[in-house]
Amino acid sequence: MRLRDIGEFGLIDLLRSKLNPADHTVVVGIGDDAAVLAYNAGAHVLLTTDMLVEGVHFRQDIIDFCSLGWKSVAASLSDIAAMGGTPRHAVVSLAIPPDAKVDSLERLYDGMAQICAEFETHVIGGDIVKTSGPLVISVSLTGEVAKGKALLRSGARPGDLVFVTGHIGGSAAGLAFLENDQKALIPADEQLELTNYHQRPIPQITAGKILAASEGCTSCNDISDGLASELNEIAKASGVGIHIEERRLPIAPSVRNFARFSSHCATNWALYGGEDYQLVGTLDPLRYEEVADQCHLQGIPLTLIGRVTQGSSVLMETEDGYEVLLQARGYNHFAE
């Protein structure tokens, strides 16, 4: 079915039917000029937004529409996680080429509904427009966090420990795997793991809440642009240096295996790949054990990768004993 067969209003009705039912926080949902939302009286409201463009952020031969829906919302959920917040309400706008298939857009919303259900978030509005260009997806997401408890980038102090949740480098490895012609040559379970790292990242909402409640987390960032870029942001915002050790980077065995198989460098994926949507931050050493225990109880790996230093440099001690400067080398739109 093509868009012209059902028109804008038919499409809106169809996509709306995919969304999860509203809960008590949605006083007025889709269908009026704006949604009316109830937040806790003692809370601050969080607001973040992300825009994804076909051909720039995603390609249909690398990701299916359902996973794309999941990942589009995951990016914003991860921003709320990095603030230590609870995600609440999303608005989703799409600019759609007129030859798009209705079925693809339904799958996109299926994926959004899946991740929203998983993280108790509600899509409560949006806008659907046509474009002569590629598909554009805009997600704006609110969350809430207790007053004064938001995790910022700016509180790291020399002596703090640097942590990472989960595993990193997996999204870039997954992308390389999905672009690779010899993908059948690695074990099936590792194929699935690499695919999921890239297509279905898990925002670290629970870890963010544990960190926000701990009183010991002095800075936090989500890994959307790669570890090197995020560490530089924390160092700059906090006015400190950071020293990490390559051998401590939590890179999954499947990622190391595929790096060897495909002659890539797993450390580079972890440092510069991005889209892992894990959390990186700094902890008061006196609070580390308590936070790590709470994370492990929830099945969340928490790995120490280094420490906060005086100065302003972000350095990494390599596995062969060299000390190298890590520069922010995330993706730069508009760079030649």
Residues comprising the binding site for substrate?
Answer: 57, 275, 331
Q: Which residues are annotated as a binding site for ATP?
A: 109, 126-127, 153, 224
- Scanning 5-13, 160-168, 170-178, 284-292 for contacts with a second copy by CB under 8 A, the matching segment is 5-13
- Asked if 275 is part of the footprint of a second copy (rule: CB under 8 A), the reply reads no
- Judged by CB under 8 A, the chain residues 150 through 169 that form the site for a second copy are 150, 152-154
Q: Which of 18, 71, 89, 243 touches a second copy by CB under 8 A?
A: 89
Sign of the alpha-carbon torsion through 251, 254, 255, 259: positive
Q: Which residues are annotated as a binding site for Mg(2+)?
A: 33, 48-50, 79, 127, 222, 225
- Judged by CB under 8 A, the chain residues 206 through 265 that form the site for a second copy are 220-222, 237
Closer to a second copy by Cβ: residue 195 or 282: 282
Closer to a second copy by Cβ: residue 42 or 299: 42
Closer to a second copy by Cβ: residue 43 or 315: 43
Closer to a second copy by Cβ: residue 100 or 300: 100
| Contact map string, positions 111 to 150, toward a second copy, x by CB under 8 A | -------------xxxxxxxxxxx-x-x-xxxx-x-x--x
- Asked if 96 is part of the footprint of a second copy (rule: CB under 8 A), the reply reads yes
Q: How far apart are CA 182 and CA 112, in angstroms?
A: 31
Q: Which of 61, 184, 297, 333 touches a second copy by CB under 8 A?
A: 333
Report yes or no: 96 and 221 within 8 Å, Cβ to Cβ. no
* Cα separation values, 246 from 166, 253, 268, 319, Å: 16, 15, 10, 6
Closer to a second copy by Cβ: residue 150 or 242: 150
In the complex, the smallest distance separating the C-beta of residue 284 from a second copy, rounded to whole angstroms, is: 20
Minimal CA–CA distance to 120: which of 52, 24, 13, 223? 24
Task: Say what angle helices 205-213 and 65-82 make with each other, to 10 degrees.
Answer: 0
Say how many residues touch a second copy, by CB under 8 A: 78
243: left (phi over 0), alpha (psi -120 to 50) or beta: beta
In the complex, the smallest distance separating the C-beta of residue 127 from a second copy, rounded to whole angstroms, is: 4
Closer to a second copy by Cβ: residue 126 or 250: 126
Minimal CA–CA distance to 138: which of 95, 88, 79? 95
- Judged by CB under 8 A, the chain residues 29 through 68 that form the site for a second copy are 31-39, 41-42, 44-53, 55-57
Q: How far apart are CA 295 and CA 23, in angstroms?
A: 28
Q: Are strands 26-28 and 86-96 parallel, antiparallel or unpaired?
A: unpaired
In the complex, the smallest distance separating the C-beta of residue 277 from a second copy, rounded to whole angstroms, is: 11
In the complex, the smallest distance separating the C-beta of residue 11 from a second copy, rounded to whole angstroms, is: 7
223 token code pair: 């890994």
- Asked if 93 is part of the footprint of a second copy (rule: CB under 8 A), the reply reads yes
- Give 323's strand partners: 317
Closer to a second copy by Cβ: residue 263 or 333: 333
Q: Are strands 279-283 and 161-165 parallel, antiparallel or unpaired?
A: antiparallel
Burial (0-12, 13-18, 19+ Cβ within 10 Å), 132 = exposed
Rg (CA), the chain: 21
In the complex, the smallest distance separating the C-beta of residue 233 from a second copy, rounded to whole angstroms, is: 9
Q: Report DSSP state, residue 184.
A: G
Q: How far apart are CA 226 and CA 268, in angstroms?
A: 9
